[in-house]
Amino acid sequence: IELDNACEVMTQPHFFGAMMIQYGQADGLVGGNLSVPSAVFRPLLHLVKPLA
């Protein structure tokens, strides 16, 4: 991923929230009734790694 693309992706709240979880800045993520489940879970599956 290129830097410009990464900066654009991090402006999306679900991706930003997933990164906060990955790096210990947040404990969870709440998706409201205006979000489709795939919009909430896709960033989590791509970014949050399981504990080793």
Query: Domain ranges in the chain?
Result: 3-47
Please report the pLDDT score of residue 21 as a whole number.
92
pLDDT digits (tens, 9 = 90+) for 2-34: 888 989 999 998 899 999 999 999 999 888 888
Query: So what's the pLDDT on residue 47?
Result: 86
Which residues, at least 6 apart from 47, have a Cβ–Cβ distance to it below 8 Å? 15, 18, 19, 21, 22
